[in-house]
Chains A and B, each alone.
Chain A
Amino acid sequence: GESVGLHLPTLSVQEGDNSIINCAYSNSASDYFIWYKQESGKGPQFIIDIRSNMDKRQGQRVTVLLNKTVKHLSLQIAATQPGDSAVYFCAERGNSWDQGGKLIFGQGTELSVKP
């Protein structure tokens, strides 16, 4: 079946280092991908998104890379800060015909930033 999975369930980095969180997806027809950040006790918060016609998109301290050949998505966080500690989810939209339709979420990766 279709699924979105994360390679690393936990990631620990030193403050100031760069972080890379990976995600594999299985639906080659997915046309839209999103990264969410979820802090303890809060709902998932949108970080950045990318459409399938792009391979890279940059935000403030974050970059998302999309490799459609191997169906791989990554989130890079530059100069990781303690406030970045959270669980990060990737999500894909498999039905391009329904632009507002459901997303399939990965299991999440917990990022821990050591001061």
Chain B
Amino acid sequence: DAGVIQSPRHEVTEMGQEVTLRCKPISGHDYLFWYRQTMMRGLELLIYFNNNVPIDDSGMPEDRFSAKMPNASFSTLKIQPSEPRDSAVYFCASSPRGTQYFGPGTRLLVL
């Protein structure tokens, strides 16, 4: 298995622009998680899905952030409009039950 796939790996954008991060979970995994990692705040859970349904989005910072999972093999995390404080590494992880397997992350820089 190729593991969790994320794209793009790096994204540089200007403040106010829309950013879309993509994730393909491991086939057969029912759970999908979006995390954000910064030096200041560490690893933060933003939202997670079970069978394509959002279960807990309490970690989503504000209305500028939205996440979707239209099918079992694809999810997106969108930031609109982006701000410099959104700069971080965003990880997607998937899980069959219990252990979560992380993707390589998307490094986002908002100028």
A residues with CB within 8 A of B: 32, 34, 36, 42-46, 49, 89, 93, 98-103, 105, 107-108
Question: Which residues of A have CB within 8 Å of B97?
Answer: 99-100
Contact A43 B105 (CB under 8 A): yes
Question: Which residues of A have CB within 8 Å of B4?
Answer: 43
User: How many residues on the B side are at the interface (Cβ–Cβ under 8 A)?
Assistant: 24
15 of the cross-chain contacts (CB-CB < 8 Å) are: A34-B99, A42-B105, A43-B91, A43-B105, A44-B91, A44-B102, A46-B99, A46-B100, A100-B96, A101-B48, A101-B55, A101-B56, A102-B33, A102-B48, A105-B42
10 smallest A-B Cβ distances: which pairs? A43-B102, A100-B31, A99-B97, A100-B97, A105-B43, A44-B102, A43-B105, A100-B95, A107-B42, A43-B104
